[in-house]
């Protein structure tokens, strides 16, 4: 058996030429250079820890401080202004390469799992809704403690997530990324965005079955059944399975291929994450600080409380780990602030906005009347718009830092319009292509397509308010 394995490795280079040349060869390169990748991962772990931990113990930067001469500002800009927007852009274009090649939580969790207890996975842990719940909870809590502005809050949220990932690895790991597969707060978002990535690992089922006697093991850390893998959502794009049985290769595809493939699953968990999480709660989280609606409601309620001598909700003596409380920066949240943020994100963003988007996708599915075109499928058609939305939201943090440094941003309105228009048009085109696959009457197709203008118009309208009205 060892001799057969060596021969298999020697035959891999021709696969690169047969399956996309340099692109397939890149996948094989990743598989053959695991030690280099692991070294890069540990460098990212150290760099990540420095960005999260060190600034939390530094004083507030002086008024004349800049990104290049103050470590706290530098770390804040790198982490929130460059790192996370870059991660989202990479996921949309390259698949989940961040998860497979760079993510510090995944790397540490997989490493510690070698020394863990390896308990069987309990049924509750496998519930597919955990990434959505974790994303919503993390997003809302991050807003309550101002995770983008204060490194103490970032250490609490991100450090707590890392500690949880390590604990799960120690309990259940067995050299697998259990945390990443079932519980990571960002996993659901990555799964949705990776569906429209033009790069993916393509599996040739026929070639796999022809090599049925090749039992060379592959350690798929996120527990993907490689033989049946048809989606980029769960694949971490690490390259470990590239060339496996001469059937797996890194390949180019149309960014719409997965959503348009009606044989590929359209999972409810992915659809809910996209509608209620990315386009619902996350959109509200990016916008509440600039919303005049939020401010008007807050002032009206504060006046009412004062007039009726109810002062408890106006108290700002709240622990910093529960609500933002930094007297030295004159930044104090009251109980009223916390309640309104919760309401704006969960009720306004999650229930009202997310619910409206869900109703429109259900209406489109009802109008077309095709069992293959479910509301989940129409929800996934909103993935390009969701990608544009989350990148626009995260880039607001980048813009804030650049404005503070007096960087010229005359190009910004054009960039925002182009990105938003690209996401909207791609979603409408994708919805139209889905409807063309149906054999229903033309009037049903046109009616369903017009319905899909409603969620697109809602999201683009909200962002136009933020950038050009408010």
Q: What is the pLDDT of residue 159?
A: 93
Distance CA 458, CA 171 (A): 44
Beta-bridge mates of residue 331? 326
Q: What is the pLDDT of residue 117?
A: 84
> What are the structural domain ranges in the chain?
33-194, 270-305+322-469
CA 173 and chain centroid, separation: 23
| Residues 273 and 380 sit within 8 Å (Cβ to Cβ) | no
Bridge partners of residue 252, in order along the sequence: 199
Whether the CB-CB separation of 256 and 433 falls below 8 Å is answered with yes
What pairs with residue 116 in β-bridges?
Answer: none
Sign of CA dihedral 369, 374, 379, 381: negative
What pLDDT sits at residue 214?
65
- CB 284, CB 343: distance < 8 Å: no
In this predicted structure, what is the pLDDT of residue 211?
78
Strand partners, 325: 332
- The two beta strands, 199-203 and 248-252, are antiparallel
Helices (H) and strands (E) in the chain, counts: 24, 4
Name 36's Cβ contacts closer than 8 Å, sequence gap at least 6.
none
Give me the count of residues in the chain. 470
pLDDT value at residue 426: 97
| pLDDT means over runs of 10, the chain (470 residues) | 36 44 92 94 95 94 91 92 95 96 94 88 94 97 96 95 95 91 95 96 90 74 91 94 92 95 92 97 96 96 94 93 94 96 97 97 97 97 97 94 93 96 97 96 97 97 95
Q: What does the pLDDT read at residue 435?
A: 97
Question: What gap in Å lies between CA 358 and CA 268, rounded to an integer?
Answer: 11
Return the structure tokens found at 419.
């990105």
Q: Which residue has the tokens 């910004």?
A: 412
């Amino acid at each position: 058996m060892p001799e057969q394995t060596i021969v298999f490795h020697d035959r891999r280079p021709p696969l690169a030429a047969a399956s996309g040349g340099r692109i397939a060869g890149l996948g094989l390169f990743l598989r053959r250079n695991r030690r280099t990748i692991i070294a890069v991962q540990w460098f990212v772990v150290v760099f990540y820890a420095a960005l999260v931990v060190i600034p939390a113990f530094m004083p507030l930067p002086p008024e004349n401080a800049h990104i290049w001469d103050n470590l706290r500002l530098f770390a804040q800009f790198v982490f929130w202004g460059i790192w996370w927007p870059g991660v989202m852009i990479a996921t949309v274009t390259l698949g989940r390469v961040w998860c497979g090649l760079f993510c510090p939580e995944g790397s540490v969790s997989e490493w510690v799992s070698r020394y863990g207890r390896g308990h069987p996975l309990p049924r509750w842990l496998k519930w597919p809704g955990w990434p959505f719940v974790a994303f919503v909870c993390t997003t809302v809590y991050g807003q309550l403690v101002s995770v983008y502005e204060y490194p103490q809050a970032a250490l609490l949220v991100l450090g707590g997530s890392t500690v949880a990932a390590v604990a799960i690895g120690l309990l259940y790991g067995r050299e697998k990324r259990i945390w990443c597969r079932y519980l990571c707060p960002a996993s659901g978002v990555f799964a949705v965005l990776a569906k429209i990535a033009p790069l993916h690992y393509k599996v040739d089922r026929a070639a796999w079955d022809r090599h049925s006697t090749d039992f060379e093991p592959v350690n798929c850390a996120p527990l993907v059944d490689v033989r049946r893998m048809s989606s980029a959502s769960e694949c971490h794009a690490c390259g470990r399975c590239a060339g496996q049985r001469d059937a797996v290769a890194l390949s180019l595809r149309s960014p719409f291929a997965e959503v348009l493939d009606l044989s590929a699953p359209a999972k409810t968990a992915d659809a809910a994450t996209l509608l209620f999480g990315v386009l619902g709660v996350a959109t509200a989280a990016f916008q509440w600080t600039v919303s005049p609606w939020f401010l008007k409601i807050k002032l009206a309620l504060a006046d009412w409380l004062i007039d009726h001598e109810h002062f408890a909700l106006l108290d700002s003596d709240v622990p910093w780990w529960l609500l933002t409380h930094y007297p030295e920066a004159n930044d104090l949240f009251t109980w009223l602030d916390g309640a309104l943020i919760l309401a704006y994100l969960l009720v306004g963003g999650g229930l009202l906005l997310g619910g409206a988007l869900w109703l429109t996708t259900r209406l489109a599915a009802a109008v077309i009347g095709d069992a293959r075109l479910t509301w989940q499928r129409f929800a996934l058609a909103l993935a390009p718009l969701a990608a544009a939305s989350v990148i626009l939201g995260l880039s607001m943090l980048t813009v804030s830092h650049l404005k503070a440094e007096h960087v010229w941003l005359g190009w910004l309105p054009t960039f925002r319009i182009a990105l938003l228009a690209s996401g909207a048009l791609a979603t409408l085109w994708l919805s139209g292509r889905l409807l063309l696959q149906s054999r229903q009457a033309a009037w049903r197709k046109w009616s369903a397509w017009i319905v899909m203008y409603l969620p697109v118009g809602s999201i683009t309208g909200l962002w136009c308010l933020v950038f050009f009205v408010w």
